[in-house]
């Protein structure tokens, strides 16, 4: 089970987190490694009036530090700030040990690990001394050993960082966690991955720290920045794809794959069926999630005649009348992206 409860059944209640920052320039650039595009924040028009850079911050690390320390739900200790010092870089084993110790000793229900620096082109993996690297799976395995059931937020601000949300999706499906936040919470796999750019993009220095991370009205950090050159991605275990607020139970099952849901292929199998109920002899409607194996047959049968939609998949919502009420249609659109 997850250590954090849903305040309204669908949204996580506020929770406290301990934080770690890792800055690494890794090995010298080669054909396998991409560096972030250097960027002078003073070159941005109106930067002195934009409030994007907090007062007293003269480098990217100081911006990230300031933002984490000014989030009322986050705590950042100096000992958990790992600066990149030329000539004193550490290898991956050092950082894996530090991450494991950090999570094992964390007393809060949540933790944030924020990385910025170089990365590998084919995986977005973090680069360290002597060509060593850290993958998402390595951090995921540490999480399962030491922090299972608590909420881990990973912020990865590096080129091709979009590979990491994809890697998280693969882990969730490998463990057969149905694609819905309720099921992830039940299994205690509570991970959020914020990537500063897509898999085929190069991250820019300062961009995500300044424009991609803001504070909401409650004083908590919110992530999300989009530009012509850099598009952040997110995988959030608490994403809800069911209609639990109406049915009072989560409908997600083993067929609900995170890969399918986030790519849209699962929601493409949700259909609204209208007809007359044979037993009651009155109009009725049903939203049904059609099984992949029966989709062709289902589409053929809906062209005419009678059918029992339960033979072709899972009934998500049902009711009397020719059409579903407007609030049901809206709910399905919001929750199933249909």
- Sorted by where each begins, the domain ranges of the chain are 17-236, 264-336
Higher pLDDT, 222 or 195: 195
The DSSP bridge pattern shows strands 221-223 and 282-290 to be: unpaired
pLDDT of residue 94: 96
* pLDDT tens digit sequence for 221-277: 666 655 556 778 888 887 776 665 544 677 777 777 888 776 655 566 788 888 888
Decide if pLDDT at 114 tops 60: yes
What's the rounded mean pLDDT across residues 95-101? 97
Lowest mean pLDDT among 33-42, 139-148, 292-301: 33-42
- What is the pLDDT confidence band of residue 18, given thresholds at 50, 70 and 90? very high
pLDDT in tens, 157-188: 999 999 999 999 999 999 999 888 888 888 99
Distance CA 210, CA 60 (A): 8
Residue 207 confidence (pLDDT) = 82
Three-state secondary structure readout of the chain: CCCCCECCCCCECCCCEEEEEEEECCCCCCCCEECCECCCHHHCCCHHHHCCCCCCCCCHHHHHHHHHHCCCCEEEEEEEEECCCCCCCCCHHHHHHHHHHHHHHCCCCEEEEEEEECEECCCCCEECHHHCEECHHHHHHHHHHHCCCCEEEEEEECCCCCHHHHHHHHHHHHCCCCCCHHHHHHHCCEEEEEECCCCCCCCECCHHHHHCEEECCCCCEEECCCCCCCCCEEEECCCCCCCHHHHCCCCCCCCCCHHHHHHCCCHHHEEEEEEEECCCCEEEEEEEEECHHHHHHHHHHCCCCCCCHHHCEEEEEEEECCCCCHHHHHHHHHHHCC
Higher per-residue confidence, 313 vs 224: 313
Task: Please write down the long-range contacts of 200-203, taking CB distance under 8 Å and 24 or more positions apart.
Answer: 200/160, 200/162, 201/159, 201/160, 201/162, 201/229, 201/230, 201/231, 202/34, 202/36, 202/37, 202/159, 202/160, 202/229, 202/230, 203/36, 203/37, 203/157, 203/158, 203/159, 203/161, 203/230
- Is the model's pLDDT at 332 over the cut of 80? no
Distance in angstroms between the alpha carbons of the first and the last residue of the chain = 29
Confidence of residue 335 (pLDDT cuts 50, 70, 90): low
Confidence of residue 1 (pLDDT cuts 50, 70, 90): low
80 burial class (0-12, 13-18, 19+ CB within 10 angstroms)?
buried
Q: Which residues pair with 6 in a beta bridge?
A: 12
CA 308 to chain centre: 37
Average pLDDT over the chain, rounded to whole? 81
CATH of domain 17-236: 3.40.50
Express as a percent the part of the chain with pLDDT over 70: 78
pLDDT at 226: 53
> What is residue 155's predicted lDDT score, i.e. its pLDDT?
95
Q: What is the pLDDT of residue 48?
A: 45
pLDDT of residue 119: 92
CA angle 122, 150, 222 (to 5 degrees): 65
What is the predicted pLDDT for the residue at 337?
46
Its pTM stands at 0.76
Q: What number of residues does the chain have? A: 338
Q: Please say if the pLDDT value at position 76 is more than 90.
A: yes
Is residue 215 over pLDDT 60? yes
Residue-level pLDDT at 47? 45
- pLDDT of residue 190 exceeding 60, the answer is yes
pLDDT of residue 49: 41
Lookup: tokens for 77: 């200790």
Q: Which are the contacts of 324, defined by CB distance < 8 A and separation ≥ 6?
A: 272, 285, 287, 317, 332
Q: Out of 19-33, 68-82, 98-112, 207-221, which region has the weakest mean confidence (pLDDT)?
A: 207-221
Confidence at residue 272, expressed as pLDDT on a 0 to 100 scale = 87
pLDDT(103) > 80: yes
If you average pLDDT over each of 124-138, 247-261, 287-301, which comes out highest? Answer: 124-138
Q: Which two tokens stand for residue 210?
A: 């300044």
State mean pLDDT over 119-127: 92
Summarize the confidence of residues 118-126 as an average pLDDT.
Answer: 92
Torsion of CA 197, 201, 202, 203, to 10 degrees: -10
pLDDT at residue number 33: 76
> What is d(CA 131, CA 283) in angstroms, rounded to the nearest whole number?
66
């Amino acid at each position: 089970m997850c250590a954090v409860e849903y305040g309204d059944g669908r949204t996580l209640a506020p929770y406290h987190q301990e934080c770690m920052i890792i800055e690494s320039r890794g090995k010298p650039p080669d054909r396998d490694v991409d560096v972030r595009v250097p960027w002078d924040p003073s070159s941005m028009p109106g930067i002195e009036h934009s409030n994007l850079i907090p007062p007293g911050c003269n480098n990217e690390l100081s911006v990230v530090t300031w933002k984490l320390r000014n989030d009322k739900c986050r705590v950042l200790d100096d000992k958990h700030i790992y600066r990149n010092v030329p000539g004193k870089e550490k290898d991956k084993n050092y950082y894996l040990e530090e991450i494991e110790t950090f999570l094992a000793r964390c007393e809060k229900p949540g933790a944030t690990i924020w990385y910025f620096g170089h990365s590998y082109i084919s995986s977005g993996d973090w680069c360290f001394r002597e060509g060593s690297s850290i993958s998402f799976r390595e951090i995921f395995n540490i999480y399962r050993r030491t922090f299972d059931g608590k909420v881990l937020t990973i912020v990865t601000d590096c080129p091709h960082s979009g590979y990491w949300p994809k890697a998280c999706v693969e882990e969730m499906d490998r463990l057969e966690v149905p694609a819905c936040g309720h099921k992830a919470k039940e299994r205690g796999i509570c991970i959020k991955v914020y990537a500063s750019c897509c898999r085929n993009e190069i991250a820019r220095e300062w961009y995500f720290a300044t424009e991609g991370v803001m504070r909401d009205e409650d004083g908590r950090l919110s992530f999300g920045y989009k530009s012509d050159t850099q598009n952040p991605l997110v995988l959030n275990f608490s994403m809800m794809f069911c209609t639990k607020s109406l049915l009072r139970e989560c409908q997600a099952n083993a067929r609900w794959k995170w890969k399918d849901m986030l790519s849209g292929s699962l929601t493409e199998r949700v259909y609204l069926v209208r007809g007359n109920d044979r037993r009651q002899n009155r109009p009725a409607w049903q939203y049904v999630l059609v099984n992949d194996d029966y989709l062709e047959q289902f589409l053929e049968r809906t062209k005419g005649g009678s059918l029992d939609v339960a033979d072709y998949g899972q009934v998500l919502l049902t009711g009397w009348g020719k059409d579903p009420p407007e609030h049901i249609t809206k709910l399905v659109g919001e929750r199933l992206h249909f």
